[in-house]
């Protein structure tokens, strides 16, 4: 089984690239969904998060309100570090288990889509890293539109992650996604074909 780690800054276009790779035949593992699962009621991370952040971050039904939690951690670097310390090791472990399952079931190519691939030290779980790059102005524009954020809020979210430029330096392959979708699709298709020739 061959594993691609797909990362990039927030709103750089990772989901678009994942969809294209899925259409080309890869199995996509969305690390965000693993993160959501470990924060569900009565999972170990849930208890620790509430102990630290308080019950004010819960919805009426007792779930963690990710928007409320996001507002807190993206405005306080220390609190973000605490949240990462609680969640990152558990997310890594969850991803490792899912990959084992895929390998047993004979999957040939898996794409691990993770905004924080490097921050969570998950590069050792993958065979190569593909970074999706979009310039900062484009990221801000997409974030404001997608998550209904102000420019300042969008900026803070971008700054809470490793810079896109740093990710590009550590990448095996880079996909530039500041232009139109067709150009992105062309790049991804070429990279996929190169990978297929290497694996055959």
* DSSP per residue, 156-173: HHHHTS--HHHHHHH-SE
Tokens 């009426």 correspond to 60
Among 55, 42, 114, 50, which residue's Cα sits nearest to residue 83? 50
Report the alpha-carbon angle 158-161-167, nearest 5. 105
Number of domains in the chain: 1
Q: Give the percent of the chain with pLDDT over 70.
A: 100
For the chain, the first-to-last Cα distance in angstroms comes to: 12
- The CATH number linked to 184 is 3.40.50.300
Q: Which residue has the higher pLDDT, 110 or 137?
A: 110
- Looking at residue 114, the DSSP 8-state letter turns out to be -
Tokens representing residue 66 in the block:
């990710």
Which secondary structure element, helix H or strand E, spans residue 133, and what is its range? strand 128-133
Grade residue 199 by pLDDT with cuts at 50, 70 and 90. very high
pLDDT at residue 178 is higher than 90:
no
Q: In what order do the strands lie in the sheet containing 109-113?
A: 27-30, 109-113, 2-8, 128-133, 173-176
pLDDT of residue 126: 98
| Dist. CA 169–CA 52, nearest whole Å | 35
Q: Which pLDDT does position 123 carry in this prediction?
A: 93
Expressed as residue numbers, the domain containing 81 is: 2-199
Q: What's the average model confidence in pLDDT over 166-189? A: 94
């Amino acid at each position: 089984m061959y594993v691609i780690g797909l990362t990039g800054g927030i709103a750089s276009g990772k989901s678009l690239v994942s969809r294209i790779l899925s259409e080309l035949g890869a199995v996509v593992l969305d690390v965000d969904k693993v993160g959501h699962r470990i924060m569900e009621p009565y999972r170990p991370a849930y208890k620790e998060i509430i102990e630290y952040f308080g019950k004010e971050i819960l919805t009426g039904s007792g779930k963690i309100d990710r928007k409320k939690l996001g507002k807190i951690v993206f405005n306080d670097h220390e609190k973000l570090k605490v949240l990462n310390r609680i969640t990152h090791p558990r997310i890594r472990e969850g991803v490792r288990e899912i990959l084992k399952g895929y390998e047993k079931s004979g999957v040939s190519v898996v794409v691990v889509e993770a905004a924080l691939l490097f921050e969570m030290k998950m590069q050792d779980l993958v065979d190569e890293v593909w970074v999706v790059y979009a310039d900062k102005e484009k990221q801000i524009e997409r974030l404001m539109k997608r998550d209904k954020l102000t420019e300042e809020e969008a900026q803070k979210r971008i700054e809470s992650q490793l810079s896109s430029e740093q990710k590009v330096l550590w990448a095996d392959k880079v996909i530039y996604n500041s232009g139109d979708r067709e150009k992105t699709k062309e790049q991804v298709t070429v990279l996929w074909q190169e990978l297929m020739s290497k694996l055959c």
